[in-house]
């Protein structure tokens, strides 16, 4: 099984924007994103820190995206 891509919070937000999500609000370093169909998630942006594999999986579950679809966005 290939490894998941190593992405930062900023790169994750860029990929999710390409998937139709928009930043609704920001509280501190946490960006709240929502899709027009109601899907929502929170992405922490801590400088150039890489998102961990568990957090990446949780964000993809919240957004209802497959890993292949996410790889195409990144």
Q: In CATH, what number is assigned to the domain containing residue 35?
A: 3.30.920.30
Domain, as residue range, for 26:
9-73
Q: Is 35 contained in some domain?
A: yes
Residue 26 is assigned to a structural domain of this protein: yes
Per-residue pLDDT of the chain in tens (74 residues, 90 and over written 9): 567 778 999 999 999 999 999 999 999 999 999 999 999 999 999 999 999 999 999 999 999 999 989 999 98
H-helix or E-strand spanning residue 53: helix 53-63
pLDDT at 5: 76
Q: Angle CA(71)–CA(63)–CA(66) in degrees, nearest 5? A: 35
Q: Write the CB contacts of 55 (distance below 8 Å, at least 6 apart in sequence).
A: 44
pLDDT at 4: 72
Question: What per-residue confidence (pLDDT) applies to 74?
Answer: 85
């Amino acid at each position: 099984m290939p490894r998941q891509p190593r992405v930062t919070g900023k790169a994750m937000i860029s990929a999710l924007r390409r998937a139709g999500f928009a930043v609704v609000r920001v509280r501190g370093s946490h960006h709240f994103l929502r899709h027009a169909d109601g899907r929502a998630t929170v992405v922490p942006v801590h400088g150039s820190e890489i998102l961990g594999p568990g957090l990446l999986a949780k964000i993809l579950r919240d957004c209802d995206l497959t890993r292949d679809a996410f790889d195409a966005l990144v």
